[in-house]
């Protein structure tokens, strides 16, 4: 019986039950025909600024002011309530005190307003009973009326298609662009809009989602994906309310080739209890988020500067072929700084080939140390032939994928200058390469890079559609993100090819897939809230074709002798108890027992040590188990994540599991090809492949077992908190793997 990699989870449901209907509701927010601003006044406030900006920056429809305290605001009429507005209202932006919200909601329902954007604070973001009550009332309103709500505690909305900038702040114009972002934090809006607008590149959509009482970031991202002019998606988020929606958005974005850049705060993690399973110690929540993001191609960045520069870099019309970067600089000090930052940024500056060096030697001054990065010194841009020769030589090098010009300060490029013409010529001649500008620092954009140059004839702030990156650290990290995404897409295409027919075959024992899963679940339920014994756990592993050690349980020395004859000396002896999960700590394990005499002594010793360690523990007997010789120990486990469900963990096994923390994480289901990628992620992978003259391990068998195990994890979803197969011994190539121990910790007794 074959189970392919795309076998659905046991609780497979679409993330959106009726996406077309939700899309139509989101149109009322992002493409409204009319807007009412409730709370606008003649005073300075966020909501008043939203009203002014919506009118001033090009929204073509009516923008109604609503406030019972005014008859007019400036040259516009002001209406006492939503019910008095003369026309229909698609979107109402509400900025009145929280105590007045119920009255406005009542008016919105009677008016049949399309959607609400509530910028008012004082809801669940304040840790009080009143804040929680207000939030619950908003949620009930949305559910009962069908009127969708953005916020509360948010900041507004920008939509270039609607020519609507409904945000507070001082903006000279709304700049359309290729980016669309959802920001949970309202104050992140000016942090994103201002530097991008100042540099001349803009957004299709920007939404501040706030408390997300109804609509959430993933809803907006899904909407943005369908806009053909949106090429880059961004998100600043504290928590994804519906992880299933995030995963669906990520998969759709990957399929469409639209990168998703995310600032997910909360990297620091409070101490988490490791329970009874080593796996929990390996996989903290943030480590799982990192792994899920990598698996789905989500680009995670650490701060706002990196966020802006990464989105700017993704304006590139092509992805790099590889990670080999060359930089042209005017400073030796900057060359050293680039080398220091390269590893953390995930970029590589390979040595120049002899052919490239030979091409550069007659071009650059004889006092220049030719290398990568290449310091052409300050004279390199004053004497244009130097810069032109350097760009040509690096562009023609076969071992380079990205060419970066690193300048001192943010400045425009004069495309009519010799430097500009050389750069544009290189882009035209070498479409296979990516060309980027990076300034060492960020800041205001200057007309020219140097006071020695005359006024620019044709100044630009982007070339080939890509804005100039600012700040050496965020700029290099943005280039690293561009390279990682290119690798993800290449790997994704390769994995799709491998997955065709890349399934796993379970033993033909007459069990249907559902029956096998139900038998496994029955065994877990039978344990109640206690951990399963090793023997019980291995019974479940065997259902999925995962090889386990030969063993028998003995309750007397006579049974132990018969078991040893069947299994064959030497054997291992282990206590079989549902309450002693870490048998080594209890000194209730004895290895390499070679004859009947040693068996008799060891049998009693294991029992005595177990009773001394846990006097009240239920002891079912002693496992007489085959000894596994040689091989490499790994840990294969499952951790239940509260957001993403079961997460498969593969890492270095044995006693070092919590010390070395060399582990890879993936969401199931997995094909063997996916499992091979997990193995590649391990720092210990070279050990498995025959380090220091040892024979290579059976990597193919390990990948097959990981795929089977991932199916098991899905089948036990909701019933199991953690699983440890530790150690899983990977034998020499061709000899397979053996599960030596297994611990399954239920989620708790079912009610």
User: What superfamily does domain 19-311 belong to in CATH?
Assistant: Succinyl-CoA synthetase domains (3.40.50.261)
Pairing between strand 179-183 and 232-237? parallel
pLDDT of residue 267: 62
220/237 Cα distance (integer angstroms): 13
* pLDDT at residue 506, rounded to an integer: 60
**Domain ranges (residues) in the chain:** 19-311, 318-464, 550-627
Report the candidate in 253, 158, 249, 163 with the shortest Cα–Cα distance to residue 205. Answer: 158
**CA–CA distances in Å: residue 282 to residues 278, 644, 647, 684, 711:** 7, 16, 11, 15, 21
Rounded alpha-carbon distances, angstroms, from residue 180 to 161, 235, 236, 528: 12, 9, 12, 48
Residue tagged 């209406």 (tokens): 79
3-state secondary structure of 10: coil
Give the integer Cα–Cα distance in Å for 219 and 225: 10
**Degrees to nearest 5, angle at CA 532 with 526 and 534:** 135
Instruction: Determine whether domain 318-464 maps to CATH 3.40.50.1370.
Output: no
Assess contact for 115 and 91: CB atoms under 8 A: yes
Neighbours of 197 (CB within 10 A): 20
Q: Where are the beta strands (DSSP E) in 376-480?
A: 402-407, 413-414, 434-439, 459-460, 462-463, 466-467, 469-470
Cβ(652)–Cβ(685) below 8 Å = no
Are the CB atoms for 263 and 235 separated by under 8 Å? yes
Q: What 3-state DSSP class applies to 666? A: strand
Q: What is the pLDDT of residue 422?
A: 95
| Total H helices, total E strands in the chain | 24, 35
Give the distance between the most distant pair of CA atoms in the chain: 103
Hey, which residues does 723 pair with through a beta bridge?
638, 744
Q: State whether residue 418 is helix, strand or coil.
A: helix
Run means of pLDDT, 10 residues per run, the chain, 751 residues:
35 80 98 98 94 95 97 96 98 97 98 98 92 96 98 96 95 95 93 94 97 96 98 93 94 97 74 36 69 95 96 96 95 93 94 97 90 92 90 96 95 92 96 96 83 79 95 98 96 78 58 83 93 94 96 96 96 94 92 95 96 95 94 92 92 65 90 92 87 85 96 95 94 95 81 27
In this prediction, residue 3 carries a pLDDT of 36
Q: How do strand 413-414 and strand 459-460 relate by DSSP bridges?
A: antiparallel
Contact 389, 364 (CB under 8 A): yes
CB 647 within 8 A of CB 641: yes
- pLDDT value at residue 274: 33
The upper half-sphere exposure of residue 619, i.e. CA atoms within 13 Å in the direction of its Cβ, equals: 25
Domains 318-464 and 550-627 are alike in CATH topology: no
Distance, in Å, from the CA atom of 561 to the CA atom of 576, rounded to the nearest integer, reads: 17
The H or E element spanning position 30 is helix 19-30
Distance CA 388, CA 625 (A): 73
* Cβ contacts of 63 within 8 Å, gap of 6 or more: 34, 35, 36, 37, 51, 54, 55, 76
Tell which residue, 485, 552, 128, has the closest CA to residue 311.
485
- What is the rounded CA–CA span in Å between residue 569 and residue 586? 24
Cα–Cα distance for residue pair 557/601, rounded to 1 Å: 10
Query: Cα–Cα distance between 315 and 337 in angstroms, integer?
Result: 26
Q: Is 268 helix (H, G, I), strand (E, B) or coil?
A: coil
Residues facing 439 on adjacent strands = 407, 470
| Cis bond before residue 404 (omega within 30° of 0) | no
Which tokens sit at 287?
A: 């480590």
HEC-encoded secondary structure of 176-217 = CCCEEEEECCCCHHHHHHHHHHHCCCCEEEEEECCCCCCCCH
Per-residue pLDDT at 190: 94
DSSP for 85-134 reads -SS--SEEEE-S-GGGHHHHHHHHHHHT-SEEEE----STTS-SHHHHHH
* CATH architecture of the region 550-627: 2-Layer Sandwich (3.30)
| Helix/strand/coil for 46 | helix
CA separation for the pair 86, 385 (Å, rounded): 68
Q: Is 462 exposed, middle or buried (0-12, 13-18, 19+ CB in 10 A)?
A: middle
Say how far apart CA 170 and CA 24 lie, in whole Å.
31
And the tokens for 70?
């005014």
Phi, psi of 729 (to 5 degrees): -90, 125
CB 197 within 8 A of CB 175: yes
Q: Are 263 and 240 in contact (CB under 8 A)?
A: no
Please report, for residues 255, 364, 402, 567, the alpha-carbon distance to residue 427 in angstroms, rounded to integers and kept in the order given: 27, 21, 11, 70
Supply the angle between the helices 129-145 and 101-111 in degrees, to the nearest 10: 0
Instruction: Give the phi and the psi of residue 368 in degrees, each rounded to 5.
Output: -85, 130
Question: Is there a contact between 418 and 387 (Cβ–Cβ < 8 Å)?
Answer: yes
Q: How far apart are CA 303 and CA 627, in angstroms?
A: 51
Per-residue confidence (pLDDT) for residue 7, from 0 to 100: 36
């Amino acid at each position: 019986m074959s189970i392919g990699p795309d076998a659905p989870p046991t609780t497979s449901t679409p993330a959106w039950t009726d996406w077309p209907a939700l899309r139509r509701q989101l149109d009322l927010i992002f493409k409204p025909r009319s807007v009412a601003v409730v709370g606008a006044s003649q005073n300075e406030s966020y909501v008043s600024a939203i009203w002014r900006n919506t009118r001033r920056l090009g929204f073509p429809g009516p923008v109604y002011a609503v406030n019972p305290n005014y008859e007019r605001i400036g040259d516009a009429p002001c209406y006492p309530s939503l019910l008095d507005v003369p026309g229909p209202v698609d979107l109402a932006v509400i900025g009145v005190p929280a105590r007045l919200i119920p009255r406005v909601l009542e008016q919105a329902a009677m008016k049949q307003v399309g959607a609400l954007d509530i910028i008012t604070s004082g809801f669940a973001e304040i840790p009080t009973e009143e804040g929680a009550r207000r939030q619950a009332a908003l949620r009930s309103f949305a559910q009962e009326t069908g009127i969708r709500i953005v916020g509360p505690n948010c900041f507004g909305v920008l939509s270039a298609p609607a020519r609507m900038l409904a945000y507070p702040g001082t903006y000279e114009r709304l700049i359309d662009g290729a980016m669309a972002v959802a920001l949970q934090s309202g104050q992140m809006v000016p942090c994103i809009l201002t530097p991008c607008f100042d540099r001349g590149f803009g957004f299709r959509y920007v939404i501040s989602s706030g408390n997300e009482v109804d609509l959430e970031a993933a809803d907006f991202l899904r909407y943005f994906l369908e806009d053909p002019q949106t090429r880059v998606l961004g998100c600043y988020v504290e928590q994804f309310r519906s992880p299933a929606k995030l995963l669906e958005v990520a998969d759709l974005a990957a399929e469409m080739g639209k990168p998703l850049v995310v600032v997910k705060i909360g990297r620091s993690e409070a101490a988490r209890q490791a329970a009874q399973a080593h796996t929990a110690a390996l996989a903290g929540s943030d480590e799982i988020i990192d792994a899920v993001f990598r698996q789905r191609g989500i680009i995670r960045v650490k701060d706002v500067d990196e966020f802006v520069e990464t989105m700017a870099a993704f304006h590139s019309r092509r992805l790099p072929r590889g990670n080999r970067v060359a930089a042209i600089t005017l400073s030796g000090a900057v060359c050293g700084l680039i080398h220091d930052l390269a590893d953390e940024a995930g970029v590589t500056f390979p040595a120049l080939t002899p052919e490239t060096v030979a091409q550069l030697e007659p071009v650059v001054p004889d006092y220049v140390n030719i290398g990568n990065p290449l310091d052409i010194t300050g004279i390199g841009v004053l004497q244009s032939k130097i810069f032109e020769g350097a760009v040509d030589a690096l562009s023609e090098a076969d071992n380079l994928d990205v060419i970066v010009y690193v300048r001192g300060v943010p400045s425009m490029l004069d495309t009519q200058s010799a430097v500009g013409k050389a750069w544009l010529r290189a882009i035209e001649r070498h479409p296979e390469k990516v060309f980027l500008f990076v300034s060492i620092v960020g800041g205001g954009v200057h007309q020219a890079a140097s006071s020695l140059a005359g006024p620019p004839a044709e100044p630009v702030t982007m070339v080939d559609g890509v804005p100039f990156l600012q700040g050496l650290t965020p700029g290099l990290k943005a280039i690293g993100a561009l390279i990682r995404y290119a690798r993800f897409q290449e790997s994704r295409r390769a994995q799709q090819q491998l997955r065709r027919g890349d399934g796993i075959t379970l033993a033909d024992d007459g069990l249907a897939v559902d029956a096998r899963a139900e038998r496994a679940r029955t065994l877990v339920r039978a344990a109640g809230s206690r951990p399963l014994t090793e023997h019980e756990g291995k019974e479940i592993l065997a259902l999925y074709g995962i090889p386990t050690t030969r063993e028998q349980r003995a309750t007397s020395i006579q049974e132990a002798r018969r078991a040893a004859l069947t299994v064959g000396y030497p054997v291992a002896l282990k206590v079989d108890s549902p309450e002693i999960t870490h048998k080594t700590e209890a000194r209730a394990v004895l290895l390499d027992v070679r004859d009947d005499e040693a068996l008799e002594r060891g049998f009693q010793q294991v029992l005595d040590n177990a009773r001394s360690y846990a006097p009240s523990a239920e002891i079912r007997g002693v496992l007489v188990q085959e000894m596994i010789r040689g091989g490499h120990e790994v840990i294969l486990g499952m951790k239940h994540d509260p957001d993403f469900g079961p997460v498969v963990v593969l890492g270095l096994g044995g006693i070092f599991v919590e010390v070395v923390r060399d582990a890879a994480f993936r969401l199931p289901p997995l094909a063997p090809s996916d499992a091979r990628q997990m193995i590649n992620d391990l720092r210990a992978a070279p050990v498995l492949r025959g380090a220091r003259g040892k024979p290579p391990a059976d990597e193919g068998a390990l990948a097959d077992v990981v795929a089977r195990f991932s199916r098991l994890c899905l089948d036990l979803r909701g019933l199991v908190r953690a699983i440890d197969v530790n150690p899983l011994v990977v034998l020499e190539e061709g000899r397979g793997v053996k599960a030596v121990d297994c611990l399954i910790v239920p989620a708790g007794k079912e009610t």
